[in-house]
Structure 1
Amino acid sequence: MKITVVDDYHKMSEVAARMIVSQINEKPDSVLGLATGSTPIGMYKKLIDYYKNGEVDFSNVITFNLDEYVGLSKQDPQSYIYFMYDNLFSHININKESIYIPNGTAEDLEQECKRYDVLLERFGPIDIQILGIGVNGHIGFNEPSKDLVLRTHVAYLSEETRKANARFFDDISKVPTRAITMGISDIMRAEKIILLASGKSKAPIVKRMLETGISTYIPASILKLHKNVEIIADKDAASFVEKRNCIA
């Protein structure tokens, strides 16, 4: 596991976007695993800029999103499908039939999870998986637990996660209690994983992830078992990490 520390959020976004552009230019039909939340927004803005400048072509790219809230319609501004179109897909030349996001309003959620697994098997492995990290160490919506689920599943969101996400809603009562998420093995099958971390609120968990053992109670620590993981963190997120563990 490699950690690269950059000056600020802008630089973190730029470095991550450039890595994705390089991947697509090398392999135009790359499969990307994408994340939502505030952390990757800057990266998506940079990707749009690179596309508009003619530096990258998304026409043959396939994307899989990590997760989606259960119960939010596609038109809900807080749904992740809305987020992805608003922040990336509507601004690039990606084939809309090559975009895969779990359906959080499916009548049969268990069948929806199985459908998503079949798609991941058909088009995978993912070439680059983008991850954020929750303040409690979750990746996707794989929350701290005695046991972690391997494949796509319906996850119950912890109160800590719901409180962290409440800033996007009117109040915490509006934050869904469940989400469909890729499982740990889905994430670990990716050829390369890029974990983004920004801000002082992420400093404690970044330190715990790097400097403690592997634990299901810190789901992100599982990434230590992957062959090709890079953490890109700004100085605030890496402020508690010993310098010997970092690459400037």
Structure 2
Amino acid sequence: MEVVIRPDAYAAGRTAAGIVQQALADGVTTLGLATGSSLLQVYRDLARRHRHEGLSFSGVDAFLLDEYVGLPALDPQALAQEIRRELTDHVDLDPARLHLPSGTAPDPAAEARRIEQRLTEAGPVGLQLLDIGVNGHIGFNEPGSSLASRTRLKTLTDDTRREHARFFGGIADVPRHVITQGLATIGQASHLVLIATGPHKAGAVTAAVEGPVTAACPASVLQLHPHVTVVVDELAASRLAQKAYYRCIARHKPVGQRY
């Protein structure tokens, strides 16, 4: 696992955007997209690179990691709307190639199976962007999720609903269920890039990077993947025991390349 520590959220976002740009230049045609506060600067910088540096998404298929159950795609709080607001409305990604779970499918379990099948048909995602929750979830794979889980219907914990309540009118308005790619589904991507910023992410980052691999911290499964880049700001890295080692390694290799 490659850990890259940057001074602040702005620098972390630029670093992660650079990894995406290099992946596209290297021929990656399938991206996995996620939502979350740590990813906002990444998407803003990708949009800037599209406007000013010619970065193109025209040949890319993109898969959104998850969606709330019960929210129409045009609801302002739907994750489909968030990814459009933050990224896809600002770049040249073909809307027909943005693949979204439907939060209003009459059978959410069947919708999850459809997404899993579509991912299988598309082949491995070339690069998957990830955020991490304060309880260690990636996607909406809450603590206790099977490390072998596939795309499925999942119930949100109260901790996660409280974390997301700021985007709604309060916790009572946060949906209780989501469709999310599973940990094994996420792990099929060729390159996983996790971005975490802010002091509230420090505990989860430490557990994911330096703790044991355990379902109690779903993001710890990233330790088993052959190509993972974790980009954090100083605040999110504040509890890492091996910071000096990560900085030493970063000085001697290009960011994002496989070890």
**Is 1:104–2:92 an aligned residue pair?**
no
TM-score under structure 1 normalisation?
A: 0.96
Shift of 1:149: 5.5
Shift in Å, 1:150: 1.6
Q: Where does residue 114 of structure 1 map in the other structure? A: 113
Aligned to 1:64: 63
Alignment of 1:34-183 (within 5 A): 34-145=33-144, 147-148=146-147, 150-183=149-182
Which runs of 5 or more residues in structure 1 are unaligned? none
Q: Superposition pairs for residues 13-52 of structure 1, below 5 Å? A: 13-27=13-27, 30-52=29-51
Aligned length: 247
Shift of 1:210: 2.2
Shift of residue 205 of structure 1?
1.4
| Offset from partner CA, 1:33-53 (integer Å, 9 cap, x none) | 011021111111111111111
Aligned identity (percent) is: 37
Deviation, 1:2, is 1.2
- Runs of 4+ aligned structure 1 residues displaced above 3 Å come to 146-149
Name 1:10's counterpart in structure 2: 10
Letter in 2 for 1:144: P
What is the TM-score normalised by the length of structure 2?
0.92
The AA in structure 1 aligned to 2:21 is V
Structure 1 residue 23, shift from structure 2 partner = 1.0
- 1:141-175 per-position Cα deviation (integer Å, ceiling 9, x unaligned): 00001635521101100011000001111111000
The letter of the residue matching 1:129 is Q
Q: Which amino acid aligns with 1:182?
A: Q
Q: What SS does the corresponding residue of 2:73 show, helix, strand or coil?
A: coil
Once residues 206 and 198 of structure 1 are traced to their aligned partners in structure 2, the CA distance between those partners, rounded to angstroms, is: 9
Amino acid at match of 2:8: D
Contact 1:3 1:245 in 2 (8 A): no
Q: Is the 8 A contact 1:113 1:180 kept in 2?
A: yes
Superposed displacement of residue 54, structure 1: 3.7
